[in-house]
Amino acid sequence: MRSPQVINLNTDTQLAFNSDDVIRDDDQTRLYEDNSVTSVTVDVVLHNITDDTVAQVSSITMSTMGASGWWGINVADVIGAPLTDRHKYVGIVSQNTALPAEPNMRSFKIYEFAIENETFEDVIARLPFQIEIAADSYIRWYDNVTDMESSTSPLFEAEAYEGGVGTTWATEPSRVTHRGPIVKI
């Protein structure tokens, strides 16, 4: 995550909320102080302030995040709302009204955040890679240099060719003129 206000739907896993915002409506006590409450089914309404539209995701789970007192919603659950890259959002989290009133959570605001999904090209450009020449030659991208040095666990690979038609495997790294499609392994 580049900053707490920027969410990448490809890599971030949680939207986190301060426990001071997750309180009971009747007595304003924090829900995490009640050890029996570890999750709440909520509805999330997101207002796109870039193009003035509204999206809603209903009946998703907000859970405590260990002993920290923070609460979180899985980003994968929020993808149900049509979130647009490079747009800004604010929102409201409310207890789902179709369920019983317990734990009687007060609605709270999600302050401004932006969606910034890196393109595949941005991701692949940062990964270490090597050209591996054999009977079939490949360009392989790795998660880290250690994996690359041991030639284990490549993340992506593409066939490596020489010449102009894409049918002749490269015979040395300096002769690679183009590659086939990048495939996730």
Sequence letter at residue 113: F
The span from the CA of 42 to the CA of 30, in Å, is 16
Same domain, 125 and 44: no
The span from the CA of 149 to the CA of 147, in Å, is 6
Residue 163: inside a domain: yes
Give yes or no for residue 38 having a pLDDT over 70: yes
The span from the CA of 21 to the CA of 32, in Å, is 11
- Residues 65-90 pLDDT 10s: 877 779 999 988 988 777 888 899 99
Phi/psi at 34 (5° precision)? -95, 100
- Residues 169-179 pLDDT 10s: 999 999 999 99
Domain boundary residue, one of 93, 115, 137: 115
Same domain, 98 and 158: no
Same domain, 80 and 125: no
The span from the CA of 155 to the CA of 48, in Å, is 34
Give the per-residue pLDDT at 37.
85
Residue 157: inside a domain: yes
Same domain, 86 and 101: yes
Q: b vs e for 77-92, b when ≥16 Cβ sit within 10 Å of the residue's Cβ?
A: bbeebebeeeeebebe
Query: Which domain range does residue 142 map to?
Result: 121-184
Q: Which among 132, 166, 130 has a CA at the least distance from the CA of 146?
A: 130
Same domain, 84 and 128: no
Same domain, 71 and 131: no
Work out the number of other CB atoms within 10 angstroms of the CB of residue 115: 18
Same domain, 107 and 164: no
Question: Cα separations (Å) of 132 from 125, 143, 160, 183?
Answer: 18, 16, 8, 15
- Residues 94-123 pLDDT 10s: 999 887 777 889 999 999 999 887 777 877
Residue 1: inside a domain: no
Same domain, 35 and 125: no
pLDDT-derived band of residue 32, with 50, 70 and 90 as boundaries?
A: confident
Which tokens go with 116?
């910034």
Is the pTM value of this prediction over 0.75? no
pLDDT-derived band of residue 1, with 50, 70 and 90 as boundaries?
A: very low
Same domain, 111 and 127: no
Same domain, 89 and 104: yes
Same domain, 159 and 77: no
